[in-house]
Chain A
Amino acid sequence: MRSTPDKATDFEKTSKPAPGPEHRRSFVIKAIALACGAIATLSPFAAGVWTYLDPLRRQSKASTFIRVVSLGSIPDDGIPRLFPIVSDRLDAWTGFPSEPIGAVYLSREKGSPQVKALSAICPHAGCFVGISAPSDCFRCPCHNSSFTLSGAMIQPSPSPREMDTLDCQIDESGQVLVKWENFYTGIATKVPRA
């Protein structure tokens, strides 16, 4: 065991490059060795990283208006009610024909044909906001962010912004369509996810 390092130093002593063309040759060999080794190991690594980052290059489908309910199904008492968003969904290689992909709170003021749509996802950290019956407000079950029934913040709240409104349309046959979007959470402004 002990003789090994001695041998190595002996070897290093004897193989110390001489100046001149011999030295140049040694440098070239070292450079080529390093280059070959680097290319050999780094190319699969780079290919791996490239593929691993595939989700960054994948554009999600542009958000579209989805038919949710008929206007008549939303009582005009100003109290938001939760309606499932049913749509075709793609999960990587699996395609789901019309299944519930999320839910939206819809409300309507007395006699008003206007519908207000609020995303059920808390803008704080993304939990599912519920309606708290006794105090008539929205409350997130995670970090206690509270919102009025129109989605405004009830202070003090850990949430950085009020509940996210979703664009809403009512077509000629009285169907309520909601633009289904997800937003980044935890920031003061409402930025849709790409």
Chain B
Amino acid sequence: MKLQKKQIVSSNSIGKQLLDFLDDRTGYRGALHELLFERVPGGARWRYVWGSTLVFAFVVQVITGVVLWSSYSAGAQSAWESVHWIQHEMSGGWLVRGIHHVMAQAMVILLALHLMQIVIDGAYRAPREVNFWLGLVLMMLVLGMALTGYLLPWDQRGYWSTRVATNLAGLLPLIGPSVQQVVIGGSDYGHLTLTRFFALHAGILPGTLVAMLVLHLTLFRKHGLCAKQPIRKPDAMFWPDQVFCDAVACLGVLAVVLGVILLPALRAMLEGRPIDPGELGAELGAPADPSQPYAAARPEWYFLFLFQFLKVFEGWGASGEFLGAILIPGLTMGVMFLMPIIGRWNLGHRFNILFTSSLLIGIGLLTAMAYNEDYVALWTDSSSFSDVKDLLEKTGNDPKKIAEAFDSDVQKIAAFNKRSHRYESFLRSEAFLAAVAQASVDGHRAIELAGRPERIPPSGALDLIRQDPLTQGPRLFEQHCASCHSHVDPASAQAKTKMSKASAANLYGFGSVAWMQGLLDPAAVDGPAYFGNTSHNNGDMVNFVKNDLSDTSAWSSEDIRAVIVAMAAEANVYDTGIPESDISLIERGRALISDENRCGSCHDFGINEVNPNMAPDLVGWGSREWLIGIITNPAHEKFYGTQNDRMPSFGVTTDGAIPRLSLSQIELVVDWIRGQWYRSRSSNPSAHHASEK
């Protein structure tokens, strides 16, 4: 015991000696004392915490930012890819990125609170003017970092929002276009936009911010805390009273930030869903694509008021945009910089408080308006507009006809116009929500593709998207095929209307047992899902199905089933729908198809001989090669030959011009129709099975 005590004493004294030495050489005790024993007039208060929470938030951003920086790669083919790596592959990457993302938003709120407290307490008045100005500069730096950070993941959202933001910067008088060119690193967005935004975000802006923050804090200490008047309580020391409040507030901020990140996980847990950490924290959309429209482009919520503000100037032309994007925001900042001077008079101080509060209320209102415009369809019943919709469709939106419908009753017309205006807003909101949903689908698909075992090619994740049948198939189909063909699940609600509008077959589930079953169904073959709306609606095939196949003495139901299964086996699409028990029927079906007294009397099936222009060749019917062939040139003798209806040849031209679709585009459509695209194991447990097939 004695020995231990002695040891402690001696180690204590060694420690003290060391500290004494350090103090002698650095004077750290005095500095620490200076730092901690600041007098707080009137005692510690919760209202003084905002500045400290902002410093705390900045420190968190530096810590998380440097960690993100360690894995981030600024480049058009590596930015999205590296952020995907951070978010979905690195352990804890989602958490660090989530904290960085949410803390940035918290900082904006804290800035507003800090500013409000300073203005209300009159802390901007002499002798603290310069410090107030420094504060405003700090605020702009933080907002600048928020703006530049939004682009760095190089996803569709950041890309399109940044295009708008930099275009608005181009409106600055005289220097605008040059500023824009310098910031985006040329005339187009790409590598240099990212490297420059990154340099701004992680170097120039935070570097300046640190310098300004040092000055801000030095001046704050020089002038002392500006106490809320009147002082009722005795003075206290910064340590520990105010530090206690500050520390609790910082912990509170962190708790809120973590809460925002983890809330979806908690919800999933309560609902018993599996938790994917990659889905938590900050979202990552589909990679930026300048050729792909992005209708869900919105700035971060704290810039939404500026976004909404631009809509206020409808009909003002170019001057409206200049007013909304440059002049009014500039003047507002100007007034804020003048506040210390305006505040010298008592009335001026009141003006400042009124100005700041109305500014914040205005920002709040504009933000609420922006949200309402975008999401109004969520809480509006579409059926409440059914009469408006009907009348608009009936009159073709012709004002004359609308007036007639209301017997030229001015009041009724005005009421209708008001409602049709609201209906239009509703449609806009619906379109926005659809775009958001599509963006989410595209984002998830990009992440699924990036998670393939082969990873991302050197050409970047965008290349994966551009070569993905699931993403590109529907787009190409919509552009080139949908004017004639439908692609809709016959069991769905809109199937009937969609199919009746089409002038060619419904290609949903093409090549599967179900599709083939419909083709050989006398009740369906001349319906809109098959030949009903084509020139073949009274052709040989339709007559064969309606007459011959209905004759049970010639065609037993098992024979028909065998043909269906054999055809589906030829197509061998992803989801053939051939039950295990029917596999034995395939051979029998193949024999029936090539039988010169049955299918083989018109269709070629390899061993029989028929006039090639009679009917499509059924060898490998519905297979990848067969489909590529028929889309390339349906008038080829192997397909419809001279009997081709209106289907264009997409892959060949007679005059040496470029064809409508390139081979790779045709392949994308074919693979999509056949359901052949990459599926991760988690998205589809049968993916493994498919690859075995």
> Can you list 14 residue pairs at the A/B interface with Cβ under 8 Å?
A52-B182, A55-B192, A70-B653, A73-B660, A92-B192, A100-B289, A120-B293, A125-B164, A130-B431, A135-B397, A144-B428, A158-B315, A160-B318, A175-B657
Q: Are B167 and A193 in contact (CB under 8 A)?
A: no
CB distance from B664 to the nearest CB of A (A): 11
Interface string of B291-326 (1 = CB under 8 A from A): 101111100000000010011011111101110010
Q: What residues of B have a CB within 8 angstroms of the CB of A128 in the complex?
A: 160, 293-295, 297
Contact of A92 among B171, B191, B655 (CB under 8 A): B191
Whole-angstrom CA separation of A59 from B30 in the bound complex = 59
Which segment of A10-18, A21-29, A35-43, A183-191 sits at the interface? Answer: A183-191
Q: Are B164 and A91 in contact (CB under 8 A)?
A: no
Besides A128-B294, A130-B293, 18 more A-B contacts (Cβ < 8 Å) are A1-B27, A56-B182, A70-B660, A73-B660, A84-B291, A91-B191, A94-B191, A124-B310, A126-B163, A126-B167, A134-B427, A139-B431, A143-B307, A143-B310, A156-B315, A161-B317, A174-B655, A174-B657
A156-B191 CB under 8 A given contacts A70-B657, A173-B656: no
Interface string of B191-213 (1 = CB under 8 A from A): 11000000000000000000000
Q: What residues of A have a CB within 8 angstroms of the CB of B325 in the complex?
A: 186
Q: Are A158 and B657 in contact (CB under 8 A)?
A: no
Q: Say yes or no: is B60 at the interface (Cβ < 8 Å to chain A).
A: no
Q: Which residues 75-90 of A sit at the B interface, judged by CB distance below 8 A?
A: 75, 81-82, 84-85
Whole-angstrom CA separation of A84 from B186 in the bound complex = 23
Q: Say yes or no: is A60 at the interface (Cβ < 8 Å to chain B).
A: yes
Q: What residues of A have a CB within 8 angstroms of the CB of B466 in the complex?
A: 100
Q: Which residue of chain A is the closest to B316 with respect to CB atoms?
A: A158
Q: Which residues 124-165 of A sit at the B interface, judged by CB distance below 8 A?
A: 124-128, 130, 132, 134-135, 139, 141-144, 155-158, 160-161
Q: What residues of A have a CB within 8 angstroms of the CB of B171 in the complex?
A: 186-187
Whole-angstrom CA separation of A134 from B393 in the bound complex = 9
Q: Say yes or no: is B177 at the interface (Cβ < 8 Å to chain A).
A: yes
Most chain B CB inside 10 Å of its own CB: which residue of A75, A84, A144: A144
Interface residues of A, dominant DSSP:
loop
Contact of B164 among A142, A156, A157, A174 (CB under 8 A): A142
Whole-angstrom CA separation of A158 from B297 in the bound complex = 17
Q: Are A186 and B321 in contact (CB under 8 A)?
A: yes
Q: What residues of B have a CB within 8 angstroms of the CB of A124 in the complex?
A: 310, 321
Q: Are B318 and A1 in contact (CB under 8 A)?
A: no
Whole-angstrom CA separation of A127 from B307 in the bound complex = 12
Q: What residues of A have a CB within 8 angstroms of the CB of B170 in the complex?
A: 184-186
Q: What residues of B have a CB within 8 angstroms of the CB of A169 in the complex?
A: none
Q: What residues of B have a CB within 8 angstroms of the CB of A135 in the complex?
A: 397, 424, 427
Whole-angstrom CA separation of A175 from B658 in the bound complex = 8
Contact of B186 among A58, A144, A155, A184 (CB under 8 A): A58
Q: What residues of B have a CB within 8 angstroms of the CB of A94 in the complex?
A: 76-77, 190-191
Q: Are B315 and A155 in contact (CB under 8 A)?
A: yes
CB distance from B311 to the nearest CB of A (A): 5
Q: What residues of B have a CB within 8 angstroms of the CB of A103 in the complex?
A: 291, 293
Q: Are A158 and B318 in contact (CB under 8 A)?
A: no
Q: Say yes or no: is B408 at the interface (Cβ < 8 Å to chain A).
A: no
A132-B293 CB under 8 A given contacts A127-B163, A174-B657, A175-B657: no
Q: Say yes or no: is A113 at the interface (Cβ < 8 Å to chain B).
A: no
Q: What residues of A have a CB within 8 angstroms of the CB of B164 in the complex?
A: 125-127, 142
Contact of A194 among B187, B479, B656, B657 (CB under 8 A): B187
Q: Say yes or no: is B454 at the interface (Cβ < 8 Å to chain A).
A: no
Q: Say yes or no: is B262 at the interface (Cβ < 8 Å to chain A).
A: no
Binding site for A on B (CB under 8 A): 27, 30, 76-77, 160, 163-164, 167-168, 170-171, 177-178, 181-182, 184-188, 190-192, 289-291, 293-297, 307, 310-311, 313-318, 320-322, 325, 397, 424, 427-428, 431-432, 435, 466, 479, 483, 653, 655-660
Q: Which residue of chain B is the closest to A77 with respect to CB atoms?
A: B483
Binding site for B on A (CB under 8 A): 1, 52-53, 55-56, 58, 60, 67, 69-70, 72-73, 75, 81-82, 84-85, 91-94, 100-103, 120, 124-128, 130, 132, 134-135, 139, 141-144, 155-158, 160-161, 173-175, 182, 184-188, 193-194
Contact of B295 among A56, A141, A186 (CB under 8 A): A141
Whole-angstrom CA separation of A178 from B164 in the bound complex = 24
Q: Which residue of chain A is the closest to B162 with respect to CB atoms?
A: A126
Contact of A127 among B27, B160, B184, B192 (CB under 8 A): B160
Q: Are B160 and A186 in contact (CB under 8 A)?
A: no
Q: Are A125 and B167 in contact (CB under 8 A)?
A: yes
Q: Are A186 and B657 in contact (CB under 8 A)?
A: no
Whole-angstrom CA separation of A56 from B178 in the bound complex = 7
Contact of A141 among B291, B311, B431, B658 (CB under 8 A): B431
Q: Are B311 and A185 in contact (CB under 8 A)?
A: no
Q: Are A158 and B187 in contact (CB under 8 A)?
A: no
Whole-angstrom CA separation of A160 from B317 in the bound complex = 4
Q: What residues of B have a CB within 8 angstroms of the CB of A100 in the complex?
A: 289-291, 466
Q: What residues of B have a CB within 8 angstroms of the CB of A81 in the complex?
A: 479
CB distance from A44 to the nearest CB of B (A): 15
A193-B187 CB under 8 A given contacts A82-B479, A185-B170, A186-B325: yes
Whole-angstrom CA separation of A60 from B181 in the bound complex = 11
Whole-angstrom CA separation of A73 from B658 in the bound complex = 10
Q: Are B182 and A125 in contact (CB under 8 A)?
A: no
Q: What residues of A have a CB within 8 angstroms of the CB of B188 in the complex?
A: 60, 91, 182
Q: Are B177 and A158 in contact (CB under 8 A)?
A: no
Q: What residues of B have a CB within 8 angstroms of the CB of A175 in the complex?
A: 657-658
Whole-angstrom CA separation of A17 from B425 in the bound complex = 79
